Amino acid sequence: MYKVFVNDKPLFLTNQVVKETDFQLFLLESVDIKQIIVKMFQNKIQKAFLYHPDEKEILTKLKEKIPAVKAGGGFVFNKNGEVLFIFRNGKWDLPKGGAEKGEVIEETAIREVEEETGVTGLKITQKLQKTYHVFKRNGKYKLKITHWFEMRTDFDGILQGQEDEGIEKVVWLKPDEIKEALGNSYENIKLLFKEEKVI
């Protein structure tokens, strides 16, 4: 099962029919996916299942209906065990961004962290899960697939938010501060913290 976030609401891609009362179930083959997305952005649908019998085909089928973009991001620790956060659009987030042509995804993740935060000396220590969310750009919906990597750095210089990306703040947060930040973050970022067991 895949969990795709649309306006921070879950859209589950599944090959199982679950009898739940508060979820709407749609058939991926026949549904107008854009209508569901619009309704989720308008808060008319809070959560939904998209059903397709072949689990291996589910994501491919979704990509046929919504163009996908690939991104890389960093879950970055410093030597004090603090995690690197950015503050943008009124929410706490982790640094990430789109892949450039010819770039391998690990290079994307490191480049984006450096550009968005000013942090250098990054080393990837492990690959984490991918997250999925739908966003709207120039009137078109796109599926962003973000490949996340745990990174470590000894960087202790000045943190510098990328202004043209609307980043207002860049900070290192201690484990006890992270919980509060996640209260004002995105659902896909919270998923990563569940995986990493930092808090």
Q: How many CB atoms lie within 10 A of CB 146?
A: 26
Identify the structural domains of the chain with CATH numbers, from first to last: 2-65 (no CATH), 68-196 (3.90.79.10)
pLDDT score for 55:
86
Residue among 52, 51, 46 nearest 23 (CA)? 46
**pLDDT > 70? residue 181:** yes
Please report the sign of the dihedral spanned by the C-alpha atoms of residue 176, residue 180, residue 185, residue 191.
positive
Q: How far is CA 108 from the centre of its chain?
A: 14
Q: Give the percent of the chain with pLDDT over 70.
A: 95
What is the average pLDDT value for the chain, to the nearest integer?
A: 93
pLDDT score for 120:
97
Q: What is the pLDDT of residues 109-156, one digit of tens each?
A: 999 999 999 999 999 999 999 999 999 888 899 999 999 999 999 999
Nearest-angstrom CA–CA distance, 49 and 23? 7
Q: What is the pLDDT of residues 33-80, one digit of tens each?
A: 999 999 999 999 999 999 999 988 999 999 999 999 999 999 999 999
User: Is residue 1 very low, low, confident or very high in pLDDT (cuts 50, 70, 90)?
Assistant: confident
Q: Which amino acid is at 173?
A: L
What is the model's pTM?
0.91
